[in-house]
Amino acid sequence: MISGKTLDTIEFDKILTELAGYAVLERTRKEIFECRPVRSLAEAENLLDKTEEAGRLFIEYDTGGIYFCRDITEELKRADLGGTLNNAELLSVAENLKSARILRRAILSVKDEKITLLPQIVSRLYENAELEDEITSKIVSEDEISDNASDKLYSIRKNIRELNAKIRDKLNSYIRGGNNKYLQDNVVTLRQDRYVIPVKSEYRSRVRGFIHDQSASGATVFIEPEQVMEYNNELKRARFEEADEIYRILSELSEKVSFISGALKFNYENLSEADGAFARAMYGHAGKCVRPVLNDRGFINIVKGRHPLIPGNKVVPVSLSLGKNCHFLLITGPNTGGKTVTLKMAGLFCAMAMSGIFVPAGAGSELSVFNGIYCDIGDEQSIEQNLSTFSSHIKNIVSILAEADNKSLVLIDEIGAGTDPEEGSALALAVLEKFLSIGCFGIVTTHYSALKEYAMNNKKILNASMEFDAATLKPLYKINIGVPGSSNAIDIAKTLGLGEDIIKVALSNLSEGTVNFEKALKSAEESRRKYEKLSAELNTMAAEKRAELDKIRKDREETALEKERIYRSARLEIKRLVAEKADEAEEIVAELKNILRKARMEDRDVFHAAELKNKLNDFGYIEEGAAAAPAELIKAGAEQIKRGVKVYIRKLGATGIVTGVKPEKKEAEVLVGDIKTVVKFGEIFNAEEQKPIKDKIDVKKAGIPTNKTAQLNVIGKTTLEAVSEVENFIYNAVISDVSEITIIHGVGSGALLRAVREYLKTDKNVAEFRRGRYGEGENGVTVIKLK
């Protein structure tokens, strides 16, 4: 079992106080304060599952918050007995229905295979939007019923307003008339729910009516004039009718509530269960906690655990392992070094996990579910029972030995302390051996050298020590598993100002064996710290060198890509310049033809001029990988040259896309690869049939699906090959009107990933790109949206 005393000792109650601050409902907060760790692995896993699901809903889907509603258990009991609920109580019923409706619809709207338990809870919630709306429309606030709550109430209140107006008009006319000289003030007031006027006491006989009250001084009497008496009587009757109608409305609503009281009670229970899960999730998120791996075999492996009650800027992460290689840890080291905090943290983490609460530690932390957690921590000297510190500790240990089994966690601080050191050490050894024979798991702190030596020779118990800076003689609050620590008591005393002569005497009083053992521990500790420092420096240097190599590789790849881009652009530019010269040559030859015809030169001279023209035209060349010319060139008509149409440019020996047309100049702007060029109509030929390019390309042959998405796998390619294929793939996708493509490059060394994404930054056809989401391939793919 885990007693309340144990939970208080490890400060579990403080965790619950913080956790309760995240709860919305009163019942949830009460249940949190009454929370006790479960002892079943299945139950603990179920609680952690709910916490994880709540966190997923809260963080990833921004949903699942609980709308506040009050606990109306007692009110529902009264409604069941035929009682009438008041405005506030009925509004609380509406709150219950609203909270259930909001939570149920929010969670059930999320479709996630990993979220199954909370949907089961909210599916049990009862919704009644009709009654919810009826209550909120009829009851305006805790003190007011809407005029429109019923036709009769509307009529009654309309009559009340009319009567009030008539009474005020009568009294105001009285005040404005010649009788105002009898009045103490020209005001209308109320006495006993009836309208009256303040009359000077000496003129009471001049004003006919009923005296309802007088002032404390007796100078003023409050008279209800005869003229308004009947109106006041009618108003009084109307007020009674209003109260009766309001009571009828509340009774009717209360009766409807009584029919569903069971569902409303069940609502509150389920809302509270969900609220508890969300409170645990929000606590874990705020504390940067993780879900621990759970077992029921006593295995504990805390990775960089941070005690949740120590401020984040002061806490030092501690890692410890227990249960797989040993049953007990024996922690040694100086006072104030963190031994007790580490001890409590281990017990607290297990209690938190057994309560469905995530723990502030690193990923992969593992904790166990125990039948019982037992503690003997701190000075519990009892004056009432006349028990010394030692006696109190022994009493606790006796109780623990009587109850602990092989599925218990035992935490003992300073075992055997508070008595003669030699006897205390011997007693501590005997108690440890008994715990080991029981088969339980535990952590014990001590300063006894005999226990350190014992742990060195027993496989079931492992030494551990809290780090201590020998130079500054200050604790570092870090634990080292497998290494016993020195108490450093004499060194610390010396640093704190204890006289040198006393220190020498103290050292001389130590046995030779103790001195040698402590020297060996200190030497081993210094060697270990030097090794760790050197190892850290080497790791830093290695990381720096790896980063430098990665940068060199990246620079090389970027240089190669840039060279390739420049080369491709240069080839197209050269081709464009050659084409321009070919145009000039064609014009010259045409002009020569005309001259020759006019001069009636021989045909052979004309043929010679044509040969010169063809020779100039041969200066153009087809770029490697460009599209071949159609088997039969058919010149495109002016009406066929349209924006977005694929055409063949004879002088370039390549196909392109028309991006603009200038009919008046008989020119078109054509995109060939990455280069835009202006081409005369006479050099433009049909490329296949005249349709917009998205209908001309064979999408299956181009590897582009018809569903507007496409994938390209470049795994296994070099970076240059991959970038070239990506460039061509994007080009085909754009001309095929595909809006989104996926490049599969894998993760590997990251070279392909970086090369592809660096290229995408330069491609003007790319609108944006991102890494794959969960289920798409994550960082092994890049998803691209095209312009």
pLDDT of residue 608: 55
- 694 or 137, which is more confident? 137
pLDDT of residue 503: 61
Beta bridge pairs of residue 388: none
Residue 193 has pLDDT above 60, yes or no: yes
Residue with tokens 């490329």, as numbered in its chain: 687
Provide the strand spans (E) within 216-347. 220-225, 293-295, 300-305, 318-322, 328-332
Residue 475 has pLDDT above 80, yes or no: no
- 575 or 342, which is more confident? 342
Q: Tell me the C-alpha to C-alpha distance, in Å, between residue 144 and each of 72, 133, 148.
A: 20, 16, 12
Give dist(CA 212, CA 748) in Å, integer.
96
- 513 or 85, which is more confident? 85
If phi over 0 gives left and psi between -120 and 50 gives alpha, with beta otherwise, what is residue 230? alpha
pLDDT of residue 741: 92
Considering the entire predicted model, what is its pTM?
0.62
pLDDT of residue 716: 82
Pair 294, 48: CB distance under 8 Å: yes
pLDDT of residue 461: 92
Task: Report pLDDT digits (tens) over 575-615.
Answer: 666 666 666 666 766 666 666 566 544 545 545 555 555 55
Task: Report pLDDT digits (tens) over 77-132.
Answer: 999 999 999 999 999 999 999 999 999 999 999 999 999 999 999 999 999 999 99
Beta bridge pairs of residue 766: 786
Q: How many CB atoms lie within 10 A of CB 354?
A: 25
Residue 384 has pLDDT above 70, yes or no: no
Q: How many CB atoms lie within 10 A of CB 111?
A: 8
pLDDT of residue 614: 54
The residue-averaged pLDDT of 336-361 equals: 92
Q: Tell me the C-alpha to C-alpha distance, in Å, between residue 654 and each of 300, 649, 744.
A: 70, 6, 29
Give dist(CA 549, CA 109) in Å, integer.
49
Confidence of residue 267 (pLDDT cuts 50, 70, 90): very high
Pair 37, 372: CB distance under 8 Å: no
Computed over every residue of the chain, the mean pLDDT equals 82
